[in-house]
Amino acid sequence: MTTTPLLGRYFRKLKAAIPRRRELLARRYLRGCGLEIGALHRPLPLPSAVRVQYVDIASREENIQKFPELDPSDIVEVDYIDDGFILSEIPENTQDFLIANHVLEHSPNPIQVLKNWCRPLKPNGLLFVTIPIAEKCFDKGRPETTLDHLIDDYNLYNRPTDHLAQQRIKEKNRDHLREWITLSERRIFSKRDSTYIKPSVEEIEKRIEHTDTQNSEIHFHTFSMDSYSRLLDYFTKTVETGMEIEKVCKSRKEIVSILVKSST
Ligand SMILES: C[S@@+](CC[C@H](N)C(=O)[O-])C[C@H]1O[C@@H](n2cnc3c(N)ncnc32)[C@H](O)[C@@H]1O
């Protein structure tokens, strides 16, 4: 995955405001040893007795290159360089908690990712996930992703040998990238660079054609408090019935959610 200096500047701006509610809830709920996925430059502050290891798709050195506008001293050392959407290196039933702040929206298949994040948790283990509220960030104006859309993604990805299903995934991911370039990226770039010129339709289509959309660093989906709550409700009632919703709440720009694995 690659990013540009302009995107780096966006991340730097985010750093200026670590959401207080995120921090308070982490201090209140998280105990023991666990993982944080995609901490980058904003590792979640935790009580001193809590032990955390960091997972990221890129090493610290790669992240320093990828995000040149960030202060390198803020970027965490990565303990597991791995696809944090799968966590193939992490055995099941080993973690007291798993944290992922502003990562889930980067996945083309969030239901599967939530499922994968539950696997390493011990009984009573906590899944601590925050996501940006679309209307409060650069995704403003994008259509809200529906639960049906996410269920469809989940079902399509679970048919890897079905050519039509795989074709449909490609089309959906291209649509996401088109929306990202047209609305999100445009908002990020034009705010920070007065010389930014909106790409033409032809330029956008050419870029989409040449992008590995599935692995592109974009917000695939957009959420509100209602739509994210519906997703968690569906997830805990239908996909992972061994998980329960402990807390879902909103702060100014993000939603904080905590799920707990049942004790049996
Ligand atoms: C938007 S930043 C989030 C930074 C920080 N957690 C925050 O709250 O602002 C996304 C982070 O997730 C990482 N990431 C994205 N996809 C990933 C994946 N599939 N596996 C592991 N890390 C991933 C990126 O490298 C980056 O460090």
DSSP per-residue codes, the chain: ----HHHHHHHHHHHT---HHHHHHHHHH--SEEEEES-TT-PPP--TT-EEEEEESS-HHHHHHH-TTS-GGGSPPPSEES-TTT-TTS-TT-EEEEEEES-GGG-S-HHHHHHHHHTTEEEEEEEEEEEE-GGGSTTTTSPPPPHHHHHHHHHHHT-TT-HHHHHHHHHHHHHHHHHIIIIIIHHHHHHH-TT--PPPHHHHHHHHHTS-GGG-SS------HHHHHHHHHHIIIII-TTEEEEEEEE-SSEEEEEEEE---
Nearest CA to ligand 1 atom 17: 57
pLDDT at 9 over 80: no
- How remote is the CA of residue 51 from the centroid of ligand 1, in Å? 19
Q: Is the pTM higher than 0.85?
A: yes
- How remote is the CA of residue 217 from the centroid of ligand 1, in Å? 9
90-100 pLDDT, tens digit each:
999 999 999 99
Among 82, 106, 117, name the best residue to mutate to test ligand 1's pocket (greatest count of ligand atoms within 8 A of Cβ).
106
Does the residue 44 lie in any domain? yes
Nearest CA to ligand 1 atom 22: 56
140-175 pLDDT, tens digit each:
999 999 999 999 999 999 999 999 999 999 999 999
Q: How far is CA 252 from the centre of its chain?
A: 18
Kindly state whether residues 206 and 96 are assigned to the same domain. Answer: no
Kindly state whether residues 121 and 168 are assigned to the same domain. Answer: no
CA trace torsion 108, 110, 111, 116 (10° rounding) = 110
Does the residue 227 lie in any domain? yes
Q: Please tell me the distance from the alpha carbon of residue 136 to that of residue 224, in angstroms, as a whole number.
A: 9
Task: Mark which of 177, 200, 215 sits at the end of a domain.
Answer: 215
Kindly state whether residues 17 and 128 are assigned to the same domain. Answer: yes
Does the residue 142 lie in any domain? no
Nearest CA to ligand 1 atom 5: 39
Q: What is the mean pLDDT of residues 105-132?
A: 98
Range of the domain at 73: 5-137+222-261
User: What own/partner pairs with CB < 8 Å and gap ≥ 24 does 160-163 have?
Assistant: none
Q: Please tell me the distance from the alpha carbon of residue 181 to that of residue 42, in angstroms, as a whole number.
A: 25
**What percentage of the chain reaches a pLDDT higher than 70?**
94
Q: Which residue has the higher pLDDT, 13 or 144?
A: 144
23-72 pLDDT, tens digit each:
999 999 999 999 999 999 999 999 999 999 999 999 999 999 998 878 99
The pLDDT, as a whole number, for residue 10 is 54
pLDDT bracket for residue 199 (50, 70, 90): very high
- Relative to the CA of 42, which ligand 1 atom is closest? 5
- Relative to the CA of 1, which ligand 1 atom is closest? 25
- How remote is the CA of residue 41 from the centroid of ligand 1, in Å? 10
Q: Which of these, 20, 15, 128, 129, lies nearest to 75 by C-alpha position?
A: 15
pLDDT at 190 over 90: no
Among 57, 59, 117, name the best residue to mutate to test ligand 1's pocket (greatest count of ligand atoms within 8 A of Cβ).
57
The pLDDT, as a whole number, for residue 8 is 54
Kindly state whether residues 108 and 27 are assigned to the same domain. Answer: yes
Instruction: Indicate the average pLDDT of the chain.
Output: 93
Q: What is the mean pLDDT of residues 14-30?
A: 83
- Number of folded domains that form the chain: 2
Kindly state whether residues 233 and 193 are assigned to the same domain. Answer: no
Q: Are 51 and 32 in contact (CB under 8 A)?
A: yes
How many CA atoms are closer than 13 Å to the CA of 140, on its beta-carbon side? 7
Among 1, 23, 36, 40, name the best residue to mutate to test ligand 1's pocket (greatest count of ligand atoms within 8 A of Cβ).
40
- How remote is the CA of residue 39 from the centroid of ligand 1, in Å? 6
200-253 pLDDT, tens digit each:
999 999 999 999 988 888 999 999 999 999 999 999 999 999 999 999 999 999
Mutual angle of helices 163-179 and 147-157, in 10-degree steps: 140
The pLDDT, as a whole number, for residue 14 is 47
pLDDT at 3 over 80: no
